[in-house]
Copies of this chain bind each other. A is one copy, B any other.
Amino acid sequence: MDKRIAEWVRREGVVVGPEFLRVDSFLNHRIAPEFVALAGQALADHFAHRGVQVVLTAEAAGNVIAYEVARRLGASALYAKKGRAVTMSQPITRRVPSPTKGGEVELSVSRHYLRPGERVLVVDDFLFRGLTSAALAEAAQEAGAELVGFGFVIEKCFSGGRELLARFGVPIVSLAAIERLDPASGEIVFRE
């Protein structure tokens, strides 16, 4: 839990439904660089001294957070590409359901950029059901890389994401953990 991040989410997040928090004004559509820099630094601090070499995310929502974490850790960022990876050489591919757009989406990373033994941190803006992050972690393992953890800006604690990712046996860090969203009052209840 990072108080500054949680305070920002409380102030600018808009509760649209019991599972849906709109963060369009600072994290998703319009980007507040100060917020991303703050979140990137906080996640990098959590995983400093873990020898992270690759910060892996799924485009496009995770890109800037992954980039900021990578920049501060002296690592590379790696964005799993969405859709058919026709021009990608040696792709590792996973299909995951898309919670926001419906249907399934194909995520691919190239083996060229995920090497055996490399230390990989999976990062994303939200931990919701955890399916995308689990797919990324599996892709890292398929490449023979070593998963060192998961880092998220915002966790929705009511969606089973943390439980799904527990099987990987690595630290799962979120900066703002949301217990409950109340569409009636607009309240965001954080886990302390």
Contacts of A79 in B (CB 8 A): 29-31, 60
**Cβ–Cβ contact B37 & A77, under 8 A:** no
Chain A interface mostly: mixed
Q: Taking the complex as formed, is A189 at the interface, i.e. its CB lies under 8 A from any CB of chain B?
A: no
Residues of B within 8 A of A66 (CB): 31
Cross-chain contact B71 with A30 (CB below 8 angstroms): no
On whether the beta carbons of A24 and B67 are closer than 8 Å, the reply is no
Please measure, in the bound complex, the distance between the C-alpha atom of A30 and the C-alpha atom of B70, giving whole angstroms. 11
- Let me know if A64 is at the binding interface, CB within 8 A: yes
Chain B residues closer than 8 Å to A109, beta-carbon distance: 29
> Smallest Cβ distance from A57 to chain B, in angstroms?
10
How far does the Cβ of A105 sit from chain B's closest Cβ, in whole Å? 11
B113 touches A25 (CB 8 A): yes
Contact of A29 with B60 in the complex, beta carbons under 8 Å:
no
B77 near A30 with CB under 8 A, answer yes
* CB proximity of A191 to chain B, nearest CB, Å: 26
Given A60-B59, A63-B63, A76 contacting B31 (CB threshold 8 A)? yes
Q: Mark A49-86, 1 if CB is under 8 A from B, else 0.
A: 00000100001100110110011000111110101000
Q: A133 at the A/B interface (Cβ < 8 Å)?
A: no
Residues of B within 8 A of A70 (CB): 31, 33
A29 and B71 within 8 A (CB)? no
Residues B31 and A78 in contact, CB atoms below 8 Å apart: yes
Q: Are B71 and A113 in contact (CB under 8 A)?
A: no
- Is A174 in the interface zone, CB < 8 Å from B? no
Which chain B residue lies CB-closest to A64?
B67
With an 8 A cutoff between CB atoms, is A164 at the interface? no
